[in-house]
Structure 1
Amino acid sequence: MREIEDQVEQYGGDRLETTGDRSVLGTLALVESHFADVLASAPRETTAAGRGRLARYANEALVRQYEGFFARPWARGDAGDSVVDFDCECGSAQCVRQVPLRRADFPGGPLLAPGHPAPAG
């Protein structure tokens, strides 16, 4: 933990400390408040296709994280056998569904929750 704190300090990153007395929603509110300016100026995806691409990007990043972790010599197990909660890539602005899937079964195309259509475009 101290190593991460040192890196945040070294690179001038923002740091928020919590004491464990906040709920998850309270912590989320603190983070949103701290980063309000950044969040307000961030580009917004307004199409299902764009949101689907962002979800795909996030899911592929999870794949790389699992592969990177299990590539370490001290890691036990296999990245492919790990069950990961991936985000549905349907692109609906209301979709919060996750798809639990073995890393080895991660598809080459859109990963969709049951009954969800692929985004158009």
Structure 2
Amino acid sequence: MNKLTYKLQQFMMGRNGTDALSKASMALAMVFYVLSILTRSNLLYLITIFGMGYVFFRIFSKNISKRYTENQGYLRMVSGVRNRWIQRKQYKFFRCRQCHKTIRVPRKKGKIEVTCPICGKKKITRT
């Protein structure tokens, strides 16, 4: 067993391995697989196959810097969504109509005037 472990470690040396993006892609591929079974859809099954191919491509890739950059972009996106989800009870989020910047204001303050920090556009709204 130790010999097999050593061989596997030697094979994976210099390769990307699993990261957060490959794990999320694997989970998404599994969701498509279950949906393809339930609906008996060949299209969803084909999407599953391509998704799994992408996961294996990421895991066995030797271009570590490129995979690292992709993973960092994914983590930045997910952390923004996660932080907003956590803060949803304390803050209300608005999007400026002019510059599309997301503005966070405290909840339960009644009617307030929200000013965009980027463009200065003002809006009166309830929180």
- Fold shared, TM-score > 0.5 on shorter chain: no
Normalised by the size of structure 2, how large is the TM-score? Answer: 0.27
Larger relative strand fraction? 2
RCO (CA 8 Å, sep 6+): is it higher in 1 or 2? Answer: 1
Normalised by the size of structure 1, how large is the TM-score? Answer: 0.28
